[in-house]
Structure 1
Amino acid sequence: MNGEPRHRVVVNHEEQYSIWPAHRQNPPGWRDTGHEGTRAECLDHVERVWTDLRPRSVRQ
């Protein structure tokens, strides 16, 4: 490991994604997706899985 800080991908009840420092507790209302890596790896993952940026309540 190159010493780069680890992040994880989190999602909220509206299925909006974000990344969060892996060493910190998730912010209220956000849960882990199971993906962790460097900041760039996490952002790449979010770009692949979050294809519809509208909140869940708007999509339904």
Structure 2
Amino acid sequence: MPNDELAKRRWLAIPSDFRKKLENNVFCSNCGETTIVDYEVDSVNHDIILKGYCKKCNGEVARVIN
């Protein structure tokens, strides 16, 4: 199974209310705490990584979940 598919399965295994909290608690270097939007799910060293954009300024942001 490709790495990104496994990461998506692991991400979707997290309860939706907790996933929402993680999406709404991302750091943006321009805005501080923000929400990640239009993100892709990946994995590195068994960590789930969300790569997307800041809801406020549209800058690139990422969230690592281990």
Q: TM-score, normalised by structure 2?
A: 0.27
Q: Which has the higher contact order (CA 8 A, sep 6+)?
A: 1
Q: What TM-score does the superposition give when structure 1 sets the normalisation length?
A: 0.28
